[in-house]
Amino acid sequence: MKNKIFMLICATLLCGSIGAQKVSTDKVPAAVTSTFKSKFPSATKATWEMEGKNYEAEFKVNEVAHTASFSPTGAWLKTDTSIKIAELPSPVKETITKDFAGYTIKQANKMEDAQHGKGYEVAIEKGKESKDVVLSDKGVVMSQEPHHNETVKTD
């Protein structure tokens, strides 16, 4: 359940649209699987999807959920790692408390993006309203958008 929501958040933020299509491992280009194996040598339980023109792997490393995106030529684009809400840095939590008063953090992911560097993605809720917010490690809001999917479960 968490992995599917995690994938949808990533897809929405990365591509701006939802419409992932499962892809069997043998249909993933060799350049993509080579980069994946090189970057994540201890990955287990990898499954693949197409997000637009890019390939996205959902997998585990030491039983922690990850999602990584790659271009069709094998270039690494982004990695999201599921983390516990308690693991969010203080500046991130403080920004959520200050700028999103009354919202509760429902899910947290550490992200690393080839273009934008490192940051955090959080799913927050207030009543029936849900948002996905991307923040730097210093707590600066980089983007936010409504969360249109099913309710996210807490850790």
Which residues, listed in sequence order, are joined to residue 121 by a DSSP beta bridge? 109, 134
Q: For 98-135, how does the pLDDT look when each residue is reduced to its tens digit (9 = 90+)?
A: 999 999 999 999 999 988 789 999 999 999 999 999 99
- pLDDT surpasses 70 at 19: no
In three-state secondary structure terms, 108 is strand
pLDDT for 8:
42
Backbone torsions φ then ψ of 61, nearest 5 degrees: -130, 120
Domains of the chain, earliest start first? 2-77 (3.10.450.360), 83-146 (3.10.450.360)
The closest alpha carbon to 123, from 65, 89, 82, belongs to 82
pLDDT at 86: 96
pTM of the shown model? 0.75
Say what the pLDDT of residue 148 is: 59
